[in-house]
């Protein structure tokens, strides 16, 4: 269903963005704005502001920004129509009745979600049916009860090439949509399509709101690849989801810690034994986006990877990669070489809980002989182990956390704090020199372009908008994002456009919220709200506008001279004297420039 822009504008007009975001975050008043820690990245100092005058939010740390609809889309992972419908109900705005099911959304995210919902329904029916007996036996053999199978909505893909394909096509879904879902694969010879998943236990992958976005398929035939997962699609990117987070979120929040395992069945069996704060990483390494998801619910994250060489390597890469994500990272290396699934089924809940209590912090993990391969009883090998930790800790940006870890290393190795601090400082210095050698040192933030300053003034000081719109052209704005803002919000219907940020691409919303949130070129300006448009000095604005327009005119003249020189050179090379004389007579400045050179 397409929602008319007038209806969206009314939804936003009736929505108080401070009240909305305040229901999710603990906002604190700060002058004319409100502040909070940003929910979209990890930070200690609030850089996330909500501007009630503009009805926008913006984070000066990660750059995210937009209006109320954008916030819901990002925070709750909703589609645009879903967020608009939610706010419409909240604000008491009636939405138009959809004309038919065949709207343009059929080709979008909602259609893909519906295909996945129907696929899940079909897989679950297969598991309950006569052909699902072998799959049911396999699940029972792993200790999965019917209640647990229902909780995780497990299913079965039949051992046929076109079982799901026929079901989905019968329901009217076009081939291109099924291909886009990743559930159907085109044949190489172009003769049709076939099912991606065949004769496999099917495990749905949900987003945090509980919508199916992909599948993991566990082989039942020992000769097949053990796991086959959905490819990345418009719905699913494995680095942005965690298996089971929708089911585990409440337990994670209540217990203050998350258990992260590698496999689907590791997570499922931990839930079966009461460890409902377990999620699976959908890969061997957590991403910063996944870590960000976890940071919304917990302060401590326990990594439970298989205690073999690949599992230890994966845990080590995670810690090295995410050391600057402000979470208390812990690792659990289970004894006997068992993964979490096998360990909890073999030894039971109490033994697993005891293993969790023995979780190692970053220092203990890297000093563990299974990880380092070194004997701490030997002074030479102990020093080598400390050297490894020095390299790791040198990458840690937070000085307080870094010093705390250094003290832990000193306690475990007997090396003095001072020696370790000096070693880390040297390592950090070498790293900084390498960075400087590899690339030139970043220059101070360049001042905004003339067109950016004019667009800022046009957005924030309406009295100047007409002059800027008449003097500046879209061709003058080289940055494509700024050009879109200039076209839609300065030349266009700004009164409506300013209320409909969420109809624009994310990069436009982020840039626009930044321009509305603060003066991007004011020296030392760290926050918005230091002055209102009405308080601006008219003469200062006039000087800025005149200076920017003069710079743009100079740029236009330089570009024109360059184009004429190129045309003149082309005419001379082509032996066209008439064209040469005409260009010189029409543009004498080009002739003067040639004589001076």
Confidence (pLDDT) at 464: 86
pLDDT at 471 over 90: no
The residues near 300 (Cβ < 8 Å, ≥ 6 apart) are 256, 257, 258, 327, 328, 330
Confidence (pLDDT) at 173: 92
pLDDT mean across residues, the chain: 81
Pick the more confident residue, 297 or 495: 297
Helices and strands of the chain, counted as H and E runs: 27, 15
In this prediction, residues 458-469 reach a mean pLDDT of: 85
In this prediction, residues 96-118 reach a mean pLDDT of: 67
pLDDT at 126 over 70: yes
Confidence (pLDDT) at 380: 82
| Residue 387 to residue 380: CA distance in whole angstroms | 11
* Nearest of 201, 374, 344 to residue 276 by alpha carbon: 344
| β-bridge mates for residue 278, sequence order | 259
Confidence (pLDDT) at 495: 38
Q: What are 16-22's contacts with CB under 8 Å, separation 24+?
A: 16/52, 17/50, 17/52, 17/55, 17/56, 17/57, 17/67, 17/68, 17/71, 18/50, 18/52, 20/68, 20/71, 20/72, 20/87, 20/90, 21/50, 21/57, 21/68, 21/71, 22/50
Confidence (pLDDT) at 257: 93
pLDDT at 596 over 70: no
Query: Does residue 144 sit in helix, strand or coil?
Result: coil
Give residue-wise pLDDT tens across range 392-414.
Answer: 888 888 888 888 888 888 888 88
Pick the more confident residue, 76 or 157: 157
pLDDT at 137 over 90: yes
Residue 24 pLDDT grade (very low, low, confident, very high; cuts 50, 70, 90): confident
Confidence (pLDDT) at 436: 45
Confidence (pLDDT) at 381: 84
In this prediction, residues 429-447 reach a mean pLDDT of: 50
Q: Give, for 379, the enclosing helix (H) or strand (E).
A: helix 379-393
In this prediction, residues 442-470 reach a mean pLDDT of: 79
In the DSSP assignment, the letter for residue 523 is T
Confidence (pLDDT) at 437: 45
pLDDT at 494 over 50: no
Give residue-wise pLDDT tens across range 178-202.
Answer: 999 999 999 888 788 999 999 999 9
Q: Give, for 461, the enclosing helix (H) or strand (E).
A: none
Confidence (pLDDT) at 564: 67
In this structure, of 154-168, 262-276, 570-584, the range with the lowest mean pLDDT score is: 570-584
Residue 563 pLDDT grade (very low, low, confident, very high; cuts 50, 70, 90): low
Pick the more confident residue, 440 or 487: 487
Residue 208 pLDDT grade (very low, low, confident, very high; cuts 50, 70, 90): confident
pLDDT at 238 over 70: yes
Percent of the chain with pLDDT over 90: 29
In this structure, of 192-206, 418-432, 437-451, 471-485, the range with the lowest mean pLDDT score is: 437-451
pLDDT at 155 over 70: yes
First to last CA, the chain: 64
How, if at all, do strands 278-280 and 257-261 pair? parallel
Confidence (pLDDT) at 356: 92
Give residue-wise pLDDT tens across range 302-352.
Answer: 998 776 777 777 777 778 777 877 788 898 888 777 889 999 999 999 999
| β-bridge mates for residue 261, sequence order | 280, 304
In this prediction, residues 545-568 reach a mean pLDDT of: 76
Confidence (pLDDT) at 295: 83
Confidence (pLDDT) at 532: 45
In this prediction, residues 71-80 reach a mean pLDDT of: 82
Give residue-wise pLDDT tens across range 289-311.
Answer: 788 888 888 889 999 877 677 77
| Residue 524 to residue 504: CA distance in whole angstroms | 30
Chain centre to alpha carbon of residue 428: 29
| Residue 423 to residue 71: CA distance in whole angstroms | 44
């Amino acid at each position: 269903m397409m929602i008319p822009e007038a209806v969206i504008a009314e939804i936003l007009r009736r929505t108080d963005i401070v009240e909305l975001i305040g229901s999710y975050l603990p906002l604190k008043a700060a002058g004319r704005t409100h502040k909070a820690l940003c929910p979209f990245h990890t930070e200690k100092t609030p850089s996330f502001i909500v501007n009630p005058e503009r009805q926008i939010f913006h984070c000066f740390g990660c750059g995210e920004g937009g209006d109320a609809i954008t916030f819901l889309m990002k925070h709750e992972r909703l589609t645009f129509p879903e967020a608009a419908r939610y706010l419409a109900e909240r604000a008491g705005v009636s939405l138009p009745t959809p004309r038919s099911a065949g709207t343009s959304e059929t080709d979008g995210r909602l259609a893909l979600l519906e295909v996945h919902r129907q696929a899940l329904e079909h897989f679950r029916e297969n598991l309950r049916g006569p052909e699902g007996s072998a799959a049911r036996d396999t699940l029972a053999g792993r200790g999965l009860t019917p209640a647990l199978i229902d909780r995780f909505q497990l299913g079965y893909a039949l051992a046929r090439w076109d079982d799901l394909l026929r079901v989905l096509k019968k329901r009217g879904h076009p081939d291109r949509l099924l291909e886009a879902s990743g559930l159907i694969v085109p044949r190489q010879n172009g003769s049709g399509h076939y099912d991606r998943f065949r004769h496999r236990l099917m495990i749905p992958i949900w987003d945090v709101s509980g919508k199916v976005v992909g599948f993991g398929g566990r082989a039942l035939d020992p000769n097949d690849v053990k796991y086959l997962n959905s490819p990345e699609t418009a719905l699913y990117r494995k680095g942005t989801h965690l298996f089971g987070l929708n089911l585990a979120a409440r337990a994670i929040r209540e217990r203050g810690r998350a258990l992260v395992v590698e496999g689907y069945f590791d997570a499922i069996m931990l839930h079966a034994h009461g460890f409902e704060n377990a999620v699976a990483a959908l890969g061997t390494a957590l991403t910063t986006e996944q870590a960000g998801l976890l940071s919304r619910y917990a302060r401590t994250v326990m990594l439970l990877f298989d205690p073999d060489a690949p599992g230890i390597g994966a845990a080590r890469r995670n810690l090295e990669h995410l050391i600057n994500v402000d979470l208390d990272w812990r690792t659990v290396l289970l004894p006997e070489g068992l993964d979490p699934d096998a360990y909890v089924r073999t030894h039971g809940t109490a033994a697993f809980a005891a293993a969790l209590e023995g979780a190692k912090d970053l220092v203990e993990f890297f000093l563990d002989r299974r990880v380092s391969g070194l004997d701490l009883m030997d002074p030479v090998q102990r020093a080598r182990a400390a050297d490894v930790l020095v390299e790791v800790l040198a990458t840690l940006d937070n000085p307080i956390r870094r010093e705390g870890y250094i003290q832990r290393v000193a306690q475990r190795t007997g090396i003095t704090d001072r020696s370790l601090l000096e070693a880390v400082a040297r390592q950090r210095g070498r790293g900084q020199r390498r960075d400087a050698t590899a690339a030139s040192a970043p220059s101070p933030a360049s001042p905004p372009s003339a067109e950016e300053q004019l667009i800022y003034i046009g957005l924030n000081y309406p009295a100047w908008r007409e002059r800027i719109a008449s003097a500046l052209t879209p061709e003058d704005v080289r940055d494509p994002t700024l050009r879109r803002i200039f076209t839609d919000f300065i030349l266009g219907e700004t009164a409506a456009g300013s209320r409909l940020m969420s109809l624009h691409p994310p990069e436009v919303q982020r840039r626009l919220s930044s321009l509305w949130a603060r003066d991007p070129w004011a020296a030392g300006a760290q926050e918005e709200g230091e002055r209102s448009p009405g308080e601006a000095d008219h003469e200062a604005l006039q000087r800025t506008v005149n200076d920017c327009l003069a710079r743009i005119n100079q740029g236009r003249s330089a570009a024109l001279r360059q184009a004429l020189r190129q045309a003149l050179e082309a005419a001379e090379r082509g032996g066209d004297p008439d064209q040469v004389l005409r260009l010189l007579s029409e543009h004498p400045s080009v002739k003067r420039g040639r004589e001076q050179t």
